[in-house]
Amino acid sequence: MKKILLTALIITLIFIIPASGLYGQTNTVEPVSLEQALRLAPEQNKKILIDVYAAWCPYCQRMHSDVYTDQDVLEAISEHFLWVKINVESDNTVNFMGTEMTESEFARALENRNVPTTYFLNQNGEILGVQPGYIEEGMFSSLLNFVGSDAFMYRTFEEYMQQR
């Protein structure tokens, strides 16, 4: 009888405890639409992270395959941001503050010049900062936490990194 109860308890725990808790699997964060991000950011008290990329860009591909899959990066995004992906060549429509345009037009409205480029927006959709180029995982997670925690408001990134 004890063996049956123990087996039932183990089986129950397997289904109750999420696999990520048991096996240390990575957290996933899914991008949302621009319109969703603008609607949810104030509700969730988060900033908006806009990832501007091009499908043909090798550095963009590396950002998506290596950086945006890193556990520390995913945790920083999950804690502080709603993630939006904008393809500079896409004709898919987005809605920014009631104005419909293509992703390509939105990238031009941001005055985007390079890919990849990361834009940090506040809850109202106002640009807080822009970071062009490929950034390694460790540095990117630090940058996400720097902006996400509002540390940028009272110290430089260099000061922030020295105090970590």
Whole-number average pLDDT of the chain: 88
Domain membership of residue 14 (yes or no) is no
Q: Is residue 87 part of a domain?
A: yes
> Does residue 157 contact residue 139 with C-beta atoms inside 8 Å?
no
Residue 137 included in any domain: yes
Let me know if residue 57 belongs to a domain. Answer: yes
Please give the tally of structural domains in the chain: 1
Domain assignment present for 17: no
User: pLDDT digits over 69-105, tens only?
Assistant: 999 999 999 999 999 999 999 999 999 999 999 999 9
pTM of the model: 0.83
Judge if the upstream peptide bond of residue 116 is cis by omega within 30 degrees of 0. Answer: yes
pLDDT at 101: 98
- Would you place residue 17 in the very low, low, confident or very high pLDDT band (cuts 50, 70, 90)? very low
Q: Is residue 13 part of a domain?
A: no
Find the helix packing angle between 71-80 and 137-148, rounded to 10°.
10
Confidence of residue 51 (pLDDT cuts 50, 70, 90): very high
For residue 82, what are the domain limits?
Answer: 27-150
CATH number at residue 106: 3.40.30.10
Q: How far is CA 22 from CA 8, 10, 17, 82, 94, in A?
A: 18, 13, 7, 27, 39
